[in-house]
Amino acid sequence: MITTPMKIFIKIGVGISLGINLFMFAALLYNIKMYDKRVDENRKWLKETIIEEVYKQIKFVMPKESGGVYVPNK
């Protein structure tokens, strides 16, 4: 039969184990939530950057002024 001091140690061990499990579960949920938020922020930033770069490239490639079309001897 288990003595009284041993029962107390077993109960303390079970309580600590339960506390650690609850903490790990809460930390996992928090990380999942924060990960989704970071992914959304990164997607928004990437989309804005791509749009900005496309406009820069279009401005760079477009001629400053338009002129007539050069047609060599017909």
Question: Distance between CA atoms of 35 and 40, rounded to whole angstroms?
Answer: 9
Q: Are 36 and 44 within 8 A, CB to CB?
A: no
- pLDDT number for residue 5: 81
Q: pLDDT at position 40, please?
A: 92
pLDDT value at residue 2: 65
Q: Quick check: pTM over 0.85? A: no
Cα–Cα distance, 59 to 46 (Å, whole number)? 20
Q: pLDDT per position in the chain (74 positions), as tens?
A: 567 888 888 899 999 999 999 999 999 999 999 998 899 999 999 999 999 999 998 887 776 766 666 778 76
H helix runs in 1-74, sequence order: 4-61
- Tell me the residue type at 63: P
| pLDDT at residue 49 in the model | 96
Cα distance between residue 8 and residue 66, in whole Å? 89
